[in-house]
Chain A
Amino acid sequence: AQSVTQLGSHVSVSEGALVLLRCNYSSSVPPYLFWYVQYPNQGLQLLLKYTSAATLVKGINGFEAEFKKSETSFHLTKPSAHMSDAAEYFCAVSDSGGYQKVTFGIGTKLQVIP
């Protein structure tokens, strides 16, 4: 069974500081990995996805994530936090089969301090 673990349900950073949101996955097959962002009372928006191409994936809003097979990690980073980055972030995993059942982590709420 596939799963993801997000370390830290709440993360606070100062505006302009590095954002690092951690995600570790477990999968019996080569995984597809995703990061989604959710603003209050809204749906989830895809930030980026890893589908076995380049291990460093660039997404929207300046975010990127690196797939590290040896560490089973897919951490999300952004060099400089902006106030508008305050949201909840979800890591997710699916297998590479035809039906993509996606398993989500419990989410990390990012607070950006001015």
Chain B
Amino acid sequence: DGGITQSPKYLFRKEGQNVTLSCEQNLNHDAMYWYRQDPGQGLRLIYYSQIVNDFQKGDIAEGYSVSREKKESFPLTVTSAQKNPTAFYLCASSIVGENGYTFGSGTRLTVV
């Protein structure tokens, strides 16, 4: 079945470390997105990409980086510059020009 796979589901990071969250889709969707979810704040856009080798900053890109080397993959790196990285991270994809996202099941990152 087609869908979006996020891994790992739970991730623990020590302060000062970079970590990379994986997002893979087999839906042949052009666009991919990363959102951060915190209680009471809804979803906030970190980065998005409409085509391979191109991506744009969202509303809260500071302390994060992404790459889009393949259409299927859009990994997110949470760097040590991110002051408060503990959150639930959601990856999504869509066909450009068609509305509605398909979401992955999320990665819960905890800084210890």
Query: A and B: real partners?
Result: yes
- Collect the chain B residues with CB atoms within 8 Å of residue A107's CB: 42
Contacting residue for B96 out of A46, A98, A105, CB 8 A: A98
A44 within 8 A of B: yes
- Picked from A9, A44, A96, the residue with its CB within 8 Å of the CB of B101 is A44
Q: Using known A-B contacts A51-B99, A99-B50, A101-B48, determine if residue A106 contacts B106 with beta carbons closer than 8 Å.
A: no
- Report if A90 contacts B (CB, 8 A): yes
CB of A83 closer than 8 Å to a CB of B:
no
Q: How far is the CB of A39 from chain B (nearest CB, A)?
A: 10
- In B66-88, the 8 Å CB interface with A consists of 88
Q: How many residues of B contact A (CB 8 A)?
A: 28
Query: With the chains together, A42 CA to B40 CA distance in Å?
Result: 16
Q: Which residue of the partner chain B has the closest CB to A97? A: B97
Find out whether the CB atom of A90 lies under 8 angstroms from the CB atom of B103. Answer: no
Which residue in A44, A94, A105 is a CB contact (below 8 Å) of B99? A94
Cβ–Cβ < 8 Å partners of A43 in chain B: 4, 6, 90, 92, 103-106
Q: Which residues of A contact B45 (CB under 8 A)?
A: 101
Question: For B103, what are the chain A residues with a Cβ–Cβ distance below 8 Å?
Answer: 36, 43-45
With both chains docked as a complex, state the minimum distance between the C-beta of A75 and any C-beta of chain B, in angstroms.
18
Distance, CA A102 to CA B40, complexed state (A): 18
Q: In the assembled complex, how far is the CB of residue B27 from the closest CB belonging to chain A, in whole angstroms?
A: 13
Shortest distance in angstroms between B5's beta carbon and chain A's nearest beta carbon? 11
Name A's B-contacting residues (CB within 8 A).
Answer: 9, 32, 34, 36, 41-46, 49, 51, 90, 94, 96, 98-102, 104-107
